Structure formats: C-alpha cells, structure tokens
C-alpha cells in the first residue's frame, strides 16, 4: 500500500503568559513547544513528521485526523492544521550513498585532480551549505 505524501493533523496551540507556546496533537498524543508562533509551528511540523515516520516504520495504524471544526479549545488556546510532506522526512532517514553523475569543465576537472580533491566530499559539503541542512545521525 502506498504511503501518503502529505499528512495534515489538527494541533492545539496553548498560550500561557511567560511560557513557551505548547503544541499538542490530540489525535496522536504527542506534544512540543516553541518560543513564538513560528518556532512553535516549525517544532510541530518536525514532531509530526518524525512521529508519523516512526508509526509508518513500525507498521502501526495512523489514526484519521479529527476535522478542525470538531477540535475543542479553551480560551487561551487556538487550533490549526499542521501539515508535513513525508517524502523528505522518509529520505532524511536514508543515509546510504547513491551515485550521481556531474558535468564539469575539463580544465576544472584537471585542476581538481592535480590537487587530489575528493569530489564526493566537496559536492556533499556544498549541497549541505546551499540547502542549509546537516546530515542525519547515523543509525
């Protein structure tokens, strides 16, 4: 069975004076927090993706999300839908190397070979810097 590319679940954001914004996914029973709305949303997406990836990996059933209109909140709470794009989450867990063919000008290739440059490492470092990402922890 094909896994969905995107999940969307309701979350409850709780606001308490002098505290981080708490974020709870009532359908999943997991929670996180953030220092402001943006940080709370990013933390919620990260948690949602990681939690659902674990459920998928373990073969556990992922519950149907409650419709946002049915989520009950208190006066200091707000509900919102949080989405996560799973292909990138799933691929982040894959640490095996793959081969890529790249094209270089002949003069640049010659200069790099003369200096004993590790092409793979340079490309990996440049891609991580360009994308602003770090390698996931090895299993």
pLDDT digits (tens, 9 = 90+) for 109-128: 888 888 888 888 898 899 88
Q: 84 CB contacts (<8 Å, ≥6 apart)?
A: 6, 7, 45, 48, 49, 52
pLDDT digits (tens, 9 = 90+) for 41-95: 999 999 999 999 999 989 999 999 999 999 999 999 999 999 999 998 888 766 6
Instruction: Note the pLDDT of residue 94.
Output: 67
Paired tokens of 1: 């069975």
75-76-79 Cα angle (round to 5): 90
Alpha helix locations (H) across 14-118? 37-57, 86-92, 106-114
Paired tokens of 39: 């940080």
The pLDDT of 25-54, averaged and rounded, is 96
Query: pLDDT tier at 102 (50, 70, 90 boundaries)?
Result: confident
Sole residue written with tokens 């002098």 = 18
pLDDT exceeds cutoff 80 at 15: yes
Instruction: Note the pLDDT of residue 8.
Output: 98
The sign one gets for the Cα dihedral 66, 85, 44, 81 is negative
Instruction: For the chain, list the domains and their CATH numbers.
Output: 6-92 (3.30.160.250), 97-132 (no CATH)
């Amino acid at each position: 069975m094909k896994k969905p590319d995107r999940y969307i679940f309701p979350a409850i954001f709780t606001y308490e004076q002098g505290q981080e914004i708490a974020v709870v996914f009532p359908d999943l029973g997991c929670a996180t927090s953030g220092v402001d709305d943006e940080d709370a949303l990013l933390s919620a997406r990260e948690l949602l993706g990681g939690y659902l990836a674990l459920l998928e990996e373990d073969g556990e059933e992922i519950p149907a999300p409650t419709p946002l209109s049915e989520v009950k909140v208190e006066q200091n709470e707000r509900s919102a839908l949080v989405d996560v794009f799973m292909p990138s989450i799933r691929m982040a867990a894959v640490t095996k190397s793959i081969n890529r063919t790249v094209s270089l000008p002949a003069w640049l290739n010659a200069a790099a070979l003369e200096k004993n440059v590790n092409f793979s490492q340079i490309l990996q470092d440049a891609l991580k810097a360009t994308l602003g990402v770090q390698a996931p922890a090895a299993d």
